[in-house]
Amino acid sequence: MSKPPPIYLDHHATTPLDPRVLDAMLPYFREDFGNASSASHVYGWRAEAAVEAAREQLASAIGAADPREIVFTSGTTESDNLALIGVARANRGHRDHLVTTRIEHPAVIDAARSLERDGFRVTYLPVDSDGLVDPADVAAAIEERTALVSVMAANSEIGSLQPLEEIGRVCREREVPLHTDAAQAVGKIPLDVERLGIDLLSMCAHKLYGPKGIGALYLRSRRPRLRIEPLLHGGGHERGLRSGTLPVPLVVGFARAVSLCLEERDQEAARLTALRQRLWDGLCAELDGVVQNGHSELRLPGNLNVSFEGVDADHLLLALPGVALSTGSACTSASAEPSHVLTALGLPGARIRAALRFGLGRSTSAGEIDSVVGQVVAAVRETREKRALGQLRRSGDR
């Protein structure tokens, strides 16, 4: 008899495709397979209509005034690069400075470093011990030649939610556009670009039970009208901002995934918050030396980042074959460097190395949480015992 699959608690890395999303996508793989740019026949007209309907849904989901402000991309990484590099290059002559934070996703940080190699200046703001940026620090960092401020909505490792409304107010007062990486936030917490003062917003589908390979950049078109230089050329698709034939099935799936998340958001947020508390309470009841990383309340409903004293998280993962977990962002999992997010919080090295990220999602049940608690408790105890035995043996050798 084959073993059951591991319990999936890595929903910040990606999410399974919702069957309802797949159902919406299938016709555009088959009978409605047209190119949305083909304007001379019905196949193209149907594809274009589907794309524009999806554009309207996504714009409505984030409070955008005009569906044309939604630019489809391959994912959040491309959207982040288009936002930072596109705005910087378009304003090179008179604005050569950007402001971001030390805990951004690698797509933002690496894009910023690329701009630094190209002669731009970047200010990387610190965060407090909960992972929050002080809006006063944003205000102090903005200067006359600042082209863009980029602060993520929700952190993928510790789940902390940034004070975007206050930061947006600061940026409006200083007349500097605000970009936010909202890959982890769209569909999970309320987001309204008008209320929050967001001028550019990056998002994708696969973090909210949609298909991989599709994302979007919201780009404000008025008050202020933003100048941005495209990264891809050829064909003039997406108003010339992102050339390339649109993957219509993925676009349709993206919109369907967002709409489902919005319909179920409040109920799902309450459910995940309760399950997260159940997980935390269960771990604390059975183990000493358990510490939560990130803000205790201002965090994503399904996120719990925990350090287990005296344990190496990489070794702990090997002792948990029945649970699919990670130590941090999937985009940095190949790196041997400690988490740049936890490092920015000022945590000691031992606590950083002992951190696991639990990402709860739509399929997570109370029974699974109880099972995970049991498996983690057993693995932590075993790992601690092995470590203590190893230390005892080493002291005996002396």
pLDDT tens digits, residue range 75-95?
999 999 999 999 999 999 899
Instruction: Determine the Cα–Cα distance for residues 50 and 89; give it in Å rounded to an integer.
Output: 32
DSSP string, 148-194: EEE--SB-TTT-BBP-HHHHHHHHHHHT--EEEE-TTTTTTS---HH
* Tens digits of residue pLDDT in 296-334: 999 999 999 999 999 999 999 999 999 999 987 555 545
Catalytic residue among 204, 261, 284, 331: 331
Instruction: Determine the Cα–Cα distance for residues 349 and 9; give it in Å rounded to an integer.
Output: 24
pLDDT surpasses 60 at 239: yes
Strands in 313-368 per DSSP E: 323-324, 355-359
Instruction: Determine the Cα–Cα distance for residues 141 and 97; give it in Å rounded to an integer.
Output: 10
* Tens digits of residue pLDDT in 261-293: 999 999 999 999 999 999 999 999 999 999 999
Strand 178-181 relative to strand 7-8, pairing: unpaired
261 is an active site residue: no
Question: pTM of the prediction?
Answer: 0.95
CB 176 within 8 A of CB 220: no
Domain architecture of the chain: domains with CATH: 7-13+265-391 (3.90.1150.10), 19-259 (3.40.640.10)
